[in-house]
Amino acid sequence: MSIAIMCSGGDAAGMNPAIKQFVEYSFELGIKPYLIYDGLEGLIDDEIKEATHERVGGIIHRGGTVIRSSRSKRFFEIEHRKIAYENLKSKGIDKLVVLGGDGSFRAMRQFYHDFGVNFVGIPTTIDNDIFGTDYCLGVDTALNVIRESIDDIRDTAASFKRAFVIETMGRDCGYLALVSALTSGAEMLVVPEIENDFDALEKRFKQQIKEGRSYIIAIVAEGAKMSDKVAAWFKDNIGMESRVSVIGHIQRGGSPSVFDRLMAFEFAKLSIDKLMLKPDDRNVIVYKESKFDFVSIDYINSQKYQIKPDLIKLAKKLTR
């Protein structure tokens, strides 16, 4: 029996611990594990290598993914999916573990319907924007990277009496920005999920400046598309010099946190256990209310992810 693992879409810390656990647990069960390099593109180009302990040795502390990732337009064409299937078939692989997001899972579902290759998807994205799961692999490390960046920027902000507008990743989801703002002691938050009352903010900040406040940290989600506008608002309305700092792709890197490593182990083990059972449509593993479960891709796609109401309530004080 042979099984393979691959990464698809954006990289995230936690992928390497999951890959390591996948290989080691497969050996424990007497299953031959394979590594698919370069994601869906590698599946088409036959970048499929038999896994060894040497290939996954010393990777647990590394960010990103040693087997690399990709996004592939070719995979959505049936002739290229057929090539990918033949590549797997030649090695006796009929089961896949996929680290990725909902788009990757939809591609794998089509692949299963075409050729019967069973799979389990592990939600892996720093955006934490997949409906049906409270947690996606990699988000904890990303939050810690952001926290360190905000702490460092705060030193400069305090030294120069400035407002710093710090933009986080997250696509259309404000999760990273919201949690980072709360846990770093930011004074202001701008996310797509909450409407800001700028008049109230202006009144509050002006009063605080009169009482001695010398700097302000504002966290803005990239999905809000407001970083430059907020910086201009600080200058024109608050009368405070401002700077925009886009944290960027360093949020994807960094040594995986302890929590991401442990969750990677759990995700990988449970995914293989699931693949040993009779296939069904519940092929995405999720973590909901501190419990693991499997749900269908249709369920994942049935609604848009929403940040928990309790977190929204906590964060509203930073928006008005």
Q: Which positions are annotated as active-site residues? A: 127
Q: What is the DSSP secondary structure assignment for residue 248, as one 8-state letter?
A: G
Q: Which backbone phi and psi does 244 adopt, to 5 degrees? A: -105, 130
Length of the chain: 320
Q: Does an H or E element contain 280, and which?
A: none
- 18 φψ region: left (φ > 0), alpha (ψ -120 to 50), beta (else): alpha
Q: Hey, what's the torsion of the CAs at 247, 253, 258, 261, to 10 degrees?
A: 140
Nearest of 19, 12, 227, 224 to residue 130 by alpha carbon: 12
Cα(278)–Cα(264) distance, integer angstroms: 23
Nearest of 97, 134, 21 to residue 276 by alpha carbon: 97
318 C-beta neighbours (distance < 10 Å), count: 21
Q: What is the DSSP secondary structure assignment for residue 257, as one 8-state letter?
A: P
* Helix and strand numbers, DSSP H then E, in the chain: 12, 11
